[in-house]
């Protein structure tokens, strides 16, 4: 975390980026990352309805459950993801944010599974760990909305 925070702080020195956490699983990572970045920066959150939950509710197009509070025009936006897998969620977020004319958009993810990408034109500039095809809980990650509170990331054995 210190390395990621220092790297981002170095790249954004003399700027004031805004970290945008993609809820829910990224909230712990974002909290730690923010405290590891020794530069001024803003914080905001966004939440999208996941495909599964949307299907249960009958939606056929993606829906924003919580939009940004901040105006990101001319800001340096850093999207904070828990994991980038297919890239579909991040792809949607980036396209949506680009319409608001930010100065730049980058993404940081705690975990990455690049071998599962369906879309690859993504601005993933900072990666914590490339992980194998395993399921994790804790540190904000859930299994059916449980175990997010665990302090550490743990592997689920099925």
Which residues contribute to the site for other proteins (CB under 8 A)? 50-56, 60-62, 85-86, 88-89, 91-92, 95, 116-121, 133, 135
3 state DSSP class of 5: helix
What is the nearest approach in angstroms of other proteins to the Cβ of residue 113? 9
76 as an active site residue: the answer is no
Catalytic residue among 44, 76, 82, 85: 85
What is the nearest approach in angstroms of other proteins to the Cβ of residue 52? 3
Q: Report the alpha-carbon distance of residue 140 to residue 136 in Å, rounded.
A: 10
Closer to other proteins at the Cβ: 67 or 69?
A: 67
30 exposure class (CB count in 10 Å sphere: 0-12, 13-18, 19+): buried
Closer to other proteins at the Cβ: 12 or 136?
A: 136
99 exposure class (CB count in 10 Å sphere: 0-12, 13-18, 19+): exposed
Which pair of tokens denotes residue 142? 């859930």
Closer to other proteins at the Cβ: 51 or 129?
A: 51
What is the nearest approach in angstroms of other proteins to the Cβ of residue 97? 14
CA 85 to chain centre: 11
Which DSSP state fits 141?
B
Closer to other proteins at the Cβ: 58 or 151?
A: 58
Q: Rounded to the nearest 10 degrees, what angle do helices 27-35 and 2-11 cross at? A: 70
What is the nearest approach in angstroms of other proteins to the Cβ of residue 53? 7
> Which residues belong to the active site?
85
């Amino acid at each position: 975390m210190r390395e990621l925070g220092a790297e981002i702080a170095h790249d954004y020195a003399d700027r004031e980026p805004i970290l945008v956490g993609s809820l829910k699983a990224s909230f712990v990572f974002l909290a730690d990352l923010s405290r590891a970045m020794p530069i001024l920066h803003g914080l905001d959150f966004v939440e999208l309805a996941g495909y599964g939950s949307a299907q249960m509710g009958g939606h056929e197009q993606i829906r924003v459950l919580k939009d940004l509070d901040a105006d990101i025009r001319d800001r340096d936006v850093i999207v904070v993801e828990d994991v980038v897998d297919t890239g579909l969620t991040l792809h949607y977020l980036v396209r949506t944010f680009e319409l608001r004319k930010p100065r730049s958009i980058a993404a940081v993810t705690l975990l990455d599974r690049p071998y599962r990408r369906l879309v690859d034109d993504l601005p993933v500039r900072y990666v914590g760990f490339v992980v194998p095809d395993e399921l994790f809980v804790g540190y904000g990650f859930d299994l059916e909305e449980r175990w997010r509170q665990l302090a550490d990331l743990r592997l689920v054995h099925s």
